[in-house]
Amino acid sequence: MYGAHAVTAALRNNRRRVIRLLTTAEAERQAEEAIAAGKTRLGERMLVERASSEDFARYLGEEAVHQGLAAEVLPLTQPDLDTTLSKAGPEATFVLLDQVTDPHNVGAILRSATAFGASGIVTTRHHSPMESGSLAKAASGGLEGTPLIRVANLGQAIDALKKSGFWCLGLAADGTDLLAKANLSGRIAFVLGAEGAGLRRLTREHCDLLVRLPTETGLVQLNVSNAAAIALYERARATKA
């Protein structure tokens, strides 16, 4: 992973195994502060290397915006859905992604989910991106803060949420109600599909209600990460009103 927010969040996370850290001279102090703040034994074990711009380009490619920090890490051990549901509070929020495959979008949704205090992101084991540098960079630390839960079947996951008292809202351009008019109190799960394809038919059928954003018809659809951020904002606004 690379980028200041992604790497320093990983260094602060005592569940994250960091094997190797690359840092420029300018970013070294920032890395040291993150290691100290994390108070983790992993910082004592990892290899720390002072790296040049050429070194970063060789490892990450010329286009990576690394901000002087990169780390080789092991994937996080993520909880399963049942475990996460057992710890969910009465105002818990989940975001479910129906075949959203772009790592930048999933990362951006993780960032918004962490900012608005969501309990987890649920995605499928297939047709979804794995942890990667680009996903972590887009998440800007959110990968360390919000569980990314993978399930075999999204419809079954929606049913499990409903059995746990969640009101499952699918976001769709042809939704029957505006999101802002829906009841967003209690336990809420937002279900979003990929751009273009949107929610699959079976996914739509599992949702309690299809809602839409007040966008102008005929214009380009919102990016899925933008739609997720708006939904999470509306949820936060409703619960804090």
Distance, C-alpha 122 to centroid of its chain: 9
Bridge partners (DSSP) of residue 48 are 21
Residue ranges in 61-96 assigned as alpha helix (H): 81-86
Distance CA 168, CA 30 (A): 41
Q: Residue 141 corresponds to which tokens in the numbers above?
A: 């630390």
Q: What percent of the chain has pLDDT over 90?
A: 61
CA 129 – CA 137 distance, rounded (Å): 14
Collapse the DSSP code of 140 into the 3-class scheme (helix H, G, I; strand E, B; otherwise coil) and give the result: coil
Please name the amino acid found at residue 87.
K
Looking at residue 155, its pLDDT comes to 95
pLDDT-above-70 percentage for the chain:
95
- The 10 Å Cβ neighbour count of residue 190 is 27
Q: How far apart are CA 226 and CA 241, in angstroms?
A: 22
Pairing of strands 69-73, 18-23: antiparallel
Q: How many helices (H) and strands (E) does the chain have?
A: 11, 10
Domain boundaries, the chain: 4-73, 81-240
Q: pLDDT tens digits for 129-179?
A: 988 999 999 999 999 989 999 999 999 999 999 999 999 999 998 888 999
Residue 40 binned pLDDT confidence (cut-offs 50, 70, 90) = low
The CATH T-level fold of domain 81-240 is: Alpha/beta knot (3.40.1280)
Are 81 and 160 within 8 A, CB to CB?
yes
Q: If DSSP states are collapsed to H, E and C, what string results for 180-199? A: HHCCCCCEEEEEEEECCCEC
User: Which pLDDT score is estimated for 43?
Assistant: 46
pLDDT tens readout for residues 190-233 = 999 987 778 999 999 999 999 998 877 655 578 899 999 999 99
